[in-house]
Amino acid sequence: MPESSNEKLSVVVVGAGFAGLYLLYRLRKMGLSARAFEAGDDVGGTWYWNRYPGARCDIESIDYSYSFDTELEQDWEWTEKYATQPEILRYAQHVAEKHDLKRDITFNTRVMKAVWNEETSLWTVTTENGEVTTCQYFIMATGCLSQPKNIDIEGADHFGGEIYKTHSWPHDGVDFSGKRVGIIGTGSSGIQSIPLIAEQAAHTTVFQRTANYSIPAGNGPISKEKLAIKQRYQDYREEARWTPVGVPGKETVDFTFMVSDEDREKRYEALWNTGAIPHIGSEFADILSNKEANDTLAEFARKKIRSVIDDPEVAEILSPTSFPICTKRACLDSGYFETFNKPNVSLVDIRKNPITEITETGIATADQNFEFDAIVFATGFDAMTGALLAVDIQGRNGQTLKEKWADGPVNYLGLTVSGFPNFFMITGPGSPSVLSNMIVSIEQHVDWITDCISYMQKENLAVIDATLTAESGWVKYSTDFSDLTLFPMANSWYMGANVPGKPRVCLPFVGGVGAYRRACNDVAAQDYLGFKFD
Ligand code: FAD
Ligand code: N01
């Protein structure tokens, strides 16, 4: 990277995860000058930062991979059904090297501010080092789950022992041998890391606020049937693009109470044994919209928990009841529940016995003080909007994105925001993103955005902005869709409910990847209906 300030580019990209990498690839193919700024010191995004023990994908490797490079998809060999974090990171690094992408990425550099200039129709982007770049298009590829949630527990900085956070795990790993470890958080990150930490530590204490649904991963080698997909990979990818979640599977046509209790049980059993996270909520067409239907699957999941836990009181605490199954992202685990049968693992129900503060020596709850050598925070993210709002983005008339989104992240197609010209988001709020196989969604977004820029070049158009009417229409459509489902019943990060003070809105578009793609394609086919060009 030239050290110069005031570099002028066609496009500035923020982030070098899977989204930033593919975007750079496409922009370069179009002959545009582009640079990505990345806060980390390497590519990979999620898979660069989240190096905690047990971190791995919950979408099968055959599905969770790029489709744009047919040579890559044939040459790359995944070693397991669900790839581990180190393997996915190697894959991202391999892609960056294969396509020589790193020369257009400035690492260790956080973007702090981006301001639209109405006179020049350019964005001015400033990094934390004070470097200033101007560009025609400003694209945030900053990820949905990259901005950690602030630790909102009193005294967190008083602890004298070791502190670890799953989202920014030390690169050299951590040795917990002989240590007393406390872990706060039982979302996917907690559920993946707890069994491995407990294997090593002298004693592990898990602080659970909300019990979670989790399915056994049944990880292992990739099956012959799955490997055979490589012979028709591009057709399979095309199929994936039109499914609800970006992974091919059978279309659900049955409703829960159309089948006998016995048949339903058999179908749930089969589902459980495949560890099929993408399809868990769609075994029946009404699981995500009818609470009674949802209860049948939720009770099945609770029965599974009770069947593996020795102590009925512990089983009770671990059994989720406070939200419908699949309205928070269901987890995929390897021996999570069984871990609580170990003599050196304790569970604290902090709904009944709340954490009062973190002390110099451990964690104090209402009725007990715990002493630890290390505390692990697996407390999640300010999802979907956190990384976008962490940058001071100023659009037309000096309006900031923070002001515009004070009551929730209004947007058009989850890709653009009215009043913020030539600004795009990859997998932003209002898109299916986190409810899908994210690589499928990332590729679709990048393709749509780069096609839009090509269209503008061809038509000699300099500025694109979504109309307020189109934006309100999309927000209404999105909200109406989520209101038809059970998603609003959960205090989930999908609803912004995990971050105090965050507006409660369903952040992802729940209508599915295929329907969403159709809507985006329709807009483009009608000369970008809902946008104004200058
Ligand atoms: P990210 O990978 O998050 O990359 C964004 C990058 O932007 C980061 O490197 C960050 O440092 C950088 N950045 C952010 N703000 C700035 C700034 N202001 N300046 C400079 N750089 C910045 N999805 C699935 O589909 N299946 C899974 O199994 C799955 N597992 C996951 C497991 C974990 C632990 C987590 C956290 C997420 C998981 N996801 C999964 C979602 C995952 O985030 C996506 O699949 C995908 O990796 C996102 O890629 P991205 O490039 O959009 O964002
Ligand atoms: O975060 P989370 P995550 N006091 O928000 C608890 C993806 N992912 O990092 O539920 C006490 O899910 C909080 O409690 P509660 C995936 O999309 C995928 O685990 O708010 N507890 C919860 O238990 C996932 O959904 C994989 O009551 C506090 C936990 O911390 C997303 O990333 C692996 C607390 C946070 O869970 C986020 O997952 C990892 C407090 N003050 C991540 N604050 C795969 O398996 C929070 N908690 C592929």
Q: DSSP states of 317-334 as a string?
A: HHS--SS-TTSSPPEEES
Q: Report the pLDDT value the prediction gives residue 171, as an integer from 0 to 100.
A: 96
Q: Report the pLDDT value the prediction gives residue 2, as an integer from 0 to 100.
A: 41
Residue-wise pLDDT tens for the chain (534 aa)? Answer: 444 457 789 999 999 999 999 999 999 999 999 999 999 999 999 999 999 999 999 999 999 999 999 999 999 999 999 999 999 999 999 999 999 999 999 999 999 999 999 999 999 999 999 999 999 999 999 999 999 999 989 998 899 999 999 999 999 999 999 999 999 999 999 999 999 999 999 999 999 999 999 999 999 999 999 999 999 999 999 999 999 999 998 778 899 999 999 999 999 999 888 877 677 888 999 999 999 999 999 999 999 999 999 999 999 999 999 999 999 998 999 999 999 999 999 999 999 999 999 999 999 999 999 999 999 999 999 999 999 999 999 999 999 999 999 999 999 999 999 999 999 999 999 999 999 999 999 999 999 999 999 999 999 999 999 999 999 999 999 999 999 999 999 999 999 999 999 999 999 999 999 999 999 999 999 999 999 999
Give the residue, out of 23, 46, 61, with the most ligand 1 atoms within 8 A of its beta carbon, to mutate for a pocket test: 46
Cα 44 from Cα 55, distance rounded (Å): 14
- Ligand 2 centroid to Cα of residue 451, in Å, is 35
Structure tokens at 58: 């919950």
Residues with CB under 6 A from ligand 2: 57-58, 145, 152-153, 166, 184-190, 192, 209-210, 329, 332, 350, 378-381, 434, 493, 498
- In the chain, the amino acid numbered 316 is E
Give the residue, out of 1, 109, 145, with the most ligand 1 atoms within 8 A of its beta carbon, to mutate for a pocket test: 145
Structure tokens at 459: 């038509």
- Ligand 1 centroid to Cα of residue 17, in Å, is 6
Q: Report the pLDDT value the prediction gives residue 1, as an integer from 0 to 100.
A: 42
Torsion of CA 334, 335, 340, 345, to 10 degrees: -70
Q: Report the pLDDT value the prediction gives residue 57, as an integer from 0 to 100.
A: 96
Q: Which atom of ligand 1 is nearest to the CA of 15?
A: 7
Residues with CB under 6 A from ligand 1: 14-20, 37-40, 45-46, 48, 50, 55, 57-59, 64, 110-111, 141-146, 189, 387, 390-391, 426-427, 437-438, 442
Cα 183 from Cα 374, distance rounded (Å): 9
DSSP string for residues in 144-179: SS-SBPP--STTGGG--SEEEEGGG--TT----BT-
Structure tokens at 194: 């707890």
Q: Report the pLDDT value the prediction gives residue 3, as an integer from 0 to 100.
A: 44
In terms of Cα–Cα distance, which of 455, 208, 179 is closest to 336? Answer: 208
Q: Which atom of ligand 1 is nearest to the CA of 43?
A: 9
Could you tell me if the ipTM is greater than 0.95?
yes
* Nearest CA owner, ligand 1 atom 42: 46
Q: Report the pLDDT value the prediction gives residue 282, as an integer from 0 to 100.
A: 85
- Cβ neighbours, 10 Å, residue 182: 26
* Nearest CA owner, ligand 1 atom 35: 46
Three-class SS of residue 117?
strand
Q: How many residues are there in the chain? A: 534
Torsion of CA 328, 334, 338, 340, to 10 degrees: -60
Torsion of CA 427, 432, 433, 438, to 10 degrees: -120
